[in-house]
Structure 1
């Protein structure tokens, strides 16, 4: 199939000539509808927790810190605090992150720890691959890296698209490479495609890259590597949501969204959750269709929960 079979934008947002400024205005107006406080914020915090890919992608990653990452992903909040919040006992085992995300060389460490914790079947192991974060490697080596990560225990692969192809408008090239990556994953691992929106130049490229990746079989489209100067932004997220809506309208296929990089606070998380809920709908707010990629967000979620519990104790509520 040729990419131009699904990139005629007669009915897309591009033909409405929506500028970045307009996207920014629309995205922020929608996201502001999610202002919440007190117990509602805790509810949103726990929801965000279950949608988070807890991440470590440092050059100094070791087996020890990956094991620590997995321990915290599996048991992020002490059980007694969850009980104080009124979480039903049968729901306690579900309070964990959606995934851990590590480099291919650390996947085996993550798999071993999650198996030890008896969480391997409920917490996904995502691995960045294909020459993350730049992607400036030959296609064969990038495909080999996918294979290595999956053989080591990865159940999700976060690939980076070839931005050079995107920047020169070679969408057929982008599509063809992602098809090969989809083939390498097969049915063994979900495929998330990282657009690196901060390097694509404009929202039209963000939209086209989203479409090319979805056509090639991506299960998720992801904003950023977290290593760019500009990472997840609400306007770019809205452009990607428009693409997801259009792709769903044309094909009936549901594709997930993953903002990564720059989601640092509960306010940031709530803004994204609201944007998604108010556009594609509440059904997207599940791990199969929405994730946060954030190394520090889990800390803020736990802080938010603890602050509420401590406030309740002080006021005697």
Structure 2
């Protein structure tokens, strides 16, 4: 698909032409293709590799109002050593937390290579003034966050104020400095797959390092059709610009079976270049436990009890 963004961001009219000129999404076709890919069987030897890959791509997440420094330290300990009985078990890519707890995670993960991601910009609603959102980002980066997960202003997007959303993404990107930026679309509030495609492009044009489905606070979240449309947008953006943008599904991915479905979708849509934590993440809080249980079953031939994994 030939798409040019030259001059498209210089005015509201140009940006609108770009976004409304994107091909429409065949919702029935997208749902059918996602269902087909999600039903593919995976051989046992491939499944082991996919489980390890999924673990290495997890952003291990806690985003509750009752989060404490102790809970974050516990989560970081789990990330450092996911399986105490198996040192070959990969570590998650990152811990994802609220910004005020970043110093706790930075201290607990020092020297591990595990990233610290902070949600920002008035997460999860995105309802705050731009100066407040930028201060939120700058505070998290100053505390040591490697990655920022921002939420777009869905109200502005749905009202057709594309320029305002683009400007916000660009300013947040600048405030990130060297930290990577993941832009959360909150797809469950965007109403249509056409809007998901447009919002994906808007975020990528604005400088997103990753586009992310959801905050995990609304339903539906990371559905396979939504993931398919966002991956197709990343593929087409790469074809148009030569820039690879990562993808992060988040919300509702709780089992190894769910994770494998999403990994198959990535393989078939954008290819193996994206099957790496530098371009693919899974936002999850309980997924790691099921992956560890499935991994142990493949090693021993039997399921371990639920007390084999820590509560998270």
TM-score, normalised with respect to structure 1: 0.88
Matched, 1:138 2:129: yes
Preserved CA contact (<8 Å) 2:200 2:230: yes
Match of 1:260 in 2: 250
Match of 2:93 in 1: 98
Offset at residue 167 of structure 1 (A): 0.9
Match of 1:31 in 2: 38
Preserved CA contact (<8 Å) 2:180 2:209: yes
Offset at residue 137 of structure 1 (A): 0.8
Secondary structure of 2:39's partner? helix
What is the alpha-carbon distance in structure 2 between the residues aligned to residue 32 and residue 7 of structure 1? 37
Preserved CA contact (<8 Å) 1:12 1:246: no
Matched, 1:129 2:106: no
| Structure with a larger share of its residues in helix | 1
Secondary structure of 1:81's partner? coil
Match of 1:197 in 2: 187
Match of 2:46 in 1: 40
Matched, 1:81 2:71: no
Deviations 1:181-225 (A, max 9, x none): 011012x20000000000011011111111111001000000000
> Aligned pair count?
294
Matched, 1:149 2:140: yes
Match of 2:208 in 1: 218
Gaps of 5+ in 2: 1-8, 305-312
Match of 1:164 in 2: 155
Secondary structure of 2:101's partner? helix
What is the alpha-carbon distance in structure 2 between the residues aligned to residue 101 and residue 137 of structure 1? 21
Offset at residue 309 of structure 1 (A): 2.6
Preserved CA contact (<8 Å) 2:296 2:303: no
What is the alpha-carbon distance in structure 2 between the residues aligned to residue 133 and residue 165 of structure 1? 15
Gaps of 5+ in 1: 83-91
Matched, 1:8 2:18: yes
What is the alpha-carbon distance in structure 2 between the residues aligned to residue 313 and residue 30 of structure 1? 27
Preserved CA contact (<8 Å) 1:56 1:102: yes
Match of 2:309 in 1: none
Preserved CA contact (<8 Å) 1:171 1:208: no
What is the alpha-carbon distance in structure 2 between the residues aligned to residue 205 and residue 167 of structure 1? 8
Question: Displaced runs of 4+ in structure 1, greater than 4 A?
Answer: 9-12
Aligned partner of 1:289 among 236, 255, 279: 279
Aligned partner of 1:19 among 15, 18, 26: 26
Offset at residue 241 of structure 1 (A): 1.3
What is the alpha-carbon distance in structure 2 between the residues aligned to residue 102 and residue 175 of structure 1? 25
Offset at residue 304 of structure 1 (A): 0.6
Deviations 1:273-305 (A, max 9, x none): 000001100110101100000111101111111
What is the alpha-carbon distance in structure 1 between the residues aligned to residue 45 and residue 173 of structure 2? 41
Match of 1:229 in 2: 219
Matched, 1:244 2:234: yes
Match of 1:209 in 2: 199
